Amino acid sequence: MPCRFEKMEGQVVGTMLRLFRNRLPRLRAGSRQDNLREAVKEPERAPEHCLSTFAGGQHFFEYLFVVSLKKKSSGHDYEPTITYQFPKRENLLRGQQEEEERLLSAIPLFCFPDGNEWAPLTEYPRETFSFVLTNVDGSRKIGYCRRLLPAGRGPRLPKVYCIISCIGCFGLFSKILDEVEKRHQISVAVIYPFMQGLREAAFPAPGKTVTLKSFIPDSGTEFISLTRPLDSHLEHVDFRSLLRCLRFEQILQIFASAVLERRIIFLAEDLSTLSQCIHAAAALLYPFSWAHTYIPVVPESLLDTVCCPTPFMVGVQMRFQQQVMDSPMEEVLLVNLCEGTFLMSVGDEKDILPPKLQDDILESLGQGINEFETASEQLNEHVSGPFVQFFVKTVGHYASYIKREANGQGRFQERAFYKALTSKTNRRFVKKFVKTQLFSLFIQEAEKSKHPPAGYFQQKILEYEEQKKQKKSREKTVK
């Protein structure tokens, strides 16, 4: 089983990298094209991709970029260009230099995914969004972006502040972008000491706070506190946009499609809505991780992604809807977030999950939902909880069916695992789910570990097992 899935994942990432290799060079001329083509190669194996949870202690970020629109030498179109970079890296080894070249080529494209038909503006609503870049080795970097119109008078072009990090913590980085934006209104030079202080600070552990000291001209010294949520498995997501755009029943159908690793396309004009909704949809799969093509906002020049024959979860701006609709696609769920409708579907989305468990999820989601409108952490827990419970009820007994050999290596007993389920509908679902890469990668990690990982999912499994014991005890007492 592992070999089959590893090969499949290598093909998935390889397909996306070939798309990047073919498209990205259009943005740059000269030696950078050659470096990009040479550096981007299909990996032999790509490990599991996920927005990792961090215990703390890592650096906050790798780079801060400012991306501006510059008029091309020919014509009236504008080209996104990096106009500020912190830190500047020097004396890099060849491999590091090639990696930086790939990054520098990709960043402008994802900061302005809408194409190059821009014109100076007097008003523009600020947007906060994110994108994900997959490295050749399968690891991921996250770009946190703030796009806005710079201070000034008269028509001007928007620019983007972009922080590159390997850490998924959107609320915290949004606050950092607030601070960067505030300093940029004064001078680019004021950004440098703040970001330097941030680089020297250690990323806090869950529930902890790091405080930065920063001086701003005419304002004096400020103390900025950055606090991580205590429950770190949901710190990279905010479910509010998804709930605003879709009904519970539709979210459940998206979850069902994702569980079977189908192709899912989200449509919206607003970049913030796109990136927040796709991150939210992927987060519903916890404790499993979407390991296929994953692009929260697809740039115009990479729209060929929707023709990819392998599973994907992508976001596309509404202006490109017709191009998407005209593309040859099979087994696609096309979600219009603006209208709250499905433009395309397979047709069986309501029948994928066991009916009783679907009802349980919907009932839990509907209970007291209005109480969490302003408290994002409580809302995240309220939305995520029923889906975690779904996996507890269907596959939470996995650890009992990993047989250990003398050397400690585990072997998963697949047939005995799904036959242990007494519900026929649950068993029918699990027989399909165990064939997915979602489950395969999860169980491979479990086979390597001698003990179930201590975490939120394991905690919920233990709570569920205790509830079943208490229920049995009560039933015996009644008899």
DSSP string, 101-119: HHHHHHHHHHHSTT-S---
For residue 12, the model assigns a pLDDT of 35
Tally helices (H) and strands (E) across the chain: 15, 14
For strands 140-148 and 263-268, give the pairing: unpaired
Is 50 exceeded by the pLDDT of residue 245?
A: yes
Phi, psi of 385, deg, nearest 5: -50, -50
Of 212, 213, 278, which is closest to residue 239 (Cα–Cα)? 278
Question: What pLDDT score was predicted for residue 373?
Answer: 60
Among the listed residues 133, 175, 142, 180, the one whose alpha carbon sits nearest the alpha carbon of residue 161: 180
d(CA 77, CA 4): 46
CA–CA dist 123, 373 (Å, integer): 29
Residue 19's closest CA among 46, 42, 45? 42
Position 306 scores a pLDDT of 82
pLDDT at 372: 59
Q: Is residue 151 within 8 Å of 52, Cβ to Cβ?
A: no
**Would you place residue 312 in the very low, low, confident or very high pLDDT band (cuts 50, 70, 90)?**
very high
d(C-alpha 475, C-alpha 422), whole Å:
18
- Structurally, at CATH architecture level, domain 2-186 sits in 2-Layer Sandwich (3.30)
Q: How confident is residue 169, by pLDDT bands cut at 50, 70 and 90? A: confident
Question: What are the φ/ψ torsions at residue 414 (nearest 5 degrees)?
Answer: -60, -50
Q: How far apart are CA 104 and CA 88, in angstroms?
A: 12
Report residue 72 as tokens: 């091309």
Q: Which two tokens stand for residue 366?
A: 């509907």
Q: 237-471 sits in which CATH class?
A: alpha beta
pLDDT of 37 above 70 = no
Q: Are 62 and 164 in contact (CB under 8 A)?
A: yes
Measure the CA–CA gap between 169 and 227, rounded to whole angstroms: 10
> Which is higher by pLDDT, 195 or 230?
195
33, 132, 141, 279 from 50: Cα distances, Å = 29, 10, 10, 11
Is the predicted pLDDT of residue 27 greater than 50, yes or no? no
More confident residue, 104 or 229: 104
Cα(341)–Cα(297) distance, integer angstroms: 19
Between these two residues, 137 and 74, which has the higher pLDDT value? 74
Q: Single out the residue of 425, 434, 284 nearest to residue 361, CA to CA.
A: 284
Per-residue confidence band for 24, with pLDDT thresholds at 50, 70 and 90: very low
pLDDT tens digit string along 117-134? 888 999 998 899 999 887
Contact 208, 227 (CB under 8 A): yes
Instruction: Tell me the pairing of strands 410-412 and 263-268.
Output: unpaired
The tens digit of pLDDT for each residue in 320-367 reads 999 899 888 888 999 999 999 999 999 999 999 999 999 999 999 988
Most confident of 95-99, 212-216, 330-334, 468-472: 330-334
pLDDT of residue 53 exceeding 60 = no
Among residues of the chain, what percentage have pLDDT more than 90? 47
Domain residue ranges in the chain? 2-186, 237-471
CA distance 86 to 153: 27
d(CA 62, CA 185): 23
| Between 414 and 369, the higher pLDDT residue | 414
Instruction: Give the residue carrying structure tokens 């459940």.
Output: 252
pLDDT for 419 beyond 50: yes
Contact 193, 215 (CB under 8 A): yes
Q: How would residue 52 be classed by pLDDT, with cut points 50, 70 and 90?
A: very low
Is the per-residue pLDDT at 441 higher than 50? Answer: yes
Determine what percent of the chain is predicted with pLDDT higher than 70. Answer: 85
| Conformational region of residue 30, where left means phi above 0, alpha means psi within -120 to 50, and beta covers everything else | left
Q: What is the mean pLDDT of the chain?
A: 82
| pLDDT value of position 1 | 37
Q: Which of 57-61, 158-162, 184-188, 308-312 is predicted with the least confidence, judged by mean pLDDT? A: 57-61
Average pLDDT over residues 455-461: 90
Q: Exposure string (b/e) for 127-153, b if CB count within 10 Å is 16 or more? A: bbbbbbbbbbebeebbbbbbbbbeeee
The string over 304-317, giving b where at least 16 C-beta atoms fall within 10 Å of a residue's C-beta and e elsewhere, is ebbebebbbbbbbb
Q: Which two tokens stand for residue 403?
A: 């047989």
Residue with more model confidence, 329 or 43 = 329
Nearest to 67 by CA among 173, 182, 159: 159
